[in-house]
Structure 1
Amino acid sequence: MSSPSPPPSWDWPNPFIHEVRVEPHHIDDFQHTNNVVYLTWMAKTAWEHSKVLGLDFPSYARLNRGMVVRRHELEYLAASHEGQRVLIGTWITANDGKLRLRRRFQMINGDTNETLLRGLTDFVCINIETGRATRMPQEFVDTYRLTADVAADRRG
């Protein structure tokens, strides 16, 4: 009888976790999850976390403000394969209270607890009608509070 695997080793405490399962359409010619799928999972996880925090698209529309991607950074560490569970953890690690927000991500194989990917996304607040960068409304400042203290993401 096998013993249960240890809990995932997250880079920072208390991530928001979104779980996915690797489906056949996620697999590329190398027989592992295509790299673009990981990026899609990051975006979905960020959006799910935002909704749990209380900022969904109707909230964005009401405020005429939204957070859009400026930059992604992904470090692929191991492959995932069809049928495996992937746990995607995210933390808000920077928010300047004006324009910019950063999220960090870690993906862990839910069966082996191996870290598959570490990544980050930088967001910028925009006016939805014009598409131009604009100052965050106070609701964004209050809602998108830091959930992890990452020294490299501190802004002066």
Structure 2
Amino acid sequence: MNIPYSIFESEFKVRPDDIDMFQHVHNSKYFDYVLAARYDQMERFYGMPMETFMQQGFGWVVRTAYVDYKRALTLGDSFVVRTGLESFEDKGCRVQFEIINQKTKKICCDGWFDYILIDIATGRAAKVSQEMIEKYTI
């Protein structure tokens, strides 16, 4: 079910510890940037932060991630991580993203993450509730 959801942005700056031996951001850091943006956006825009899920006994884990790298970020670059829900499933959702260099306005990478909702006590997949869908359908 593909429904048009809102897109939100979080701003970051490349730090020295993000840089690899080739003097650009290591590929694994882009995953960290997306996860940090989602954490930020869950609280600021959806009004249901990760802590709320955890208090209810739930957590989100990455099942699959797809990243299409286009151009590198380097030390000191400021960038925007733009994310939004693409779709919901019975036990998860797909979040699409873009990471954009603020100076050049060009996309550094884009892609999507498939998240699964888990019951923290059992570690098994859990059904996404109607309340969760309503909070995130903006």
Give me the whole-angstrom Cα distance separating, in 1, the residues matched to 2:5 and 2:107.
15
- TM-score, with normalisation over the residues of structure 1? 0.79
| Partner in structure 2 of residue 75 of structure 1 | 68
| Partner in structure 2 of residue 89 of structure 1 | 82
Are the aligned partners of 2:6 and 2:85 in contact in 1 as well (CA < 8 Å)? no
Q: 1:129 to 1:22 in 2, by over 3 A?
A: same
CA RMSD of aligned residues (A): 1.8
- TM-score, with normalisation over the residues of structure 2? 0.89
Who wins on radius of gyration, i.e. which is larger? 1
Question: Which residues of 2 match residues 104-123 of structure 1 at below 5 A?
Answer: 104-123=96-115
Give me the whole-angstrom Cα distance separating, in 2, the residues matched to 1:43 and 1:19.
13
| Partner in structure 2 of residue 27 of structure 1 | 19
Q: Which has the higher strand share?
A: 2
Q: Is there any run of 5+ residues in structure 2 with no aligned partner, and where? A: none
Give me the whole-angstrom Cα distance separating, in 2, the residues matched to 1:35 and 1:62.
32
Give me the whole-angstrom Cα distance separating, in 2, the residues matched to 1:13 and 1:134.
22
Q: Is there any run of 5+ residues in structure 1 with no aligned partner, and where? A: 1-11, 148-156
The alpha carbon displacement at 1:25 in A equals: 1.3
Aligned residue pairs, count: 134
Identity of aligned residues (%): 27
| Partner in structure 2 of residue 6 of structure 1 | none
| Partner in structure 1 of residue 121 of structure 2 | 129
| Partner in structure 1 of residue 56 of structure 2 | 63
The alpha carbon displacement at 1:14 in A equals: 5.6
Greater than 6 Å deviation, 4+ residue runs? none
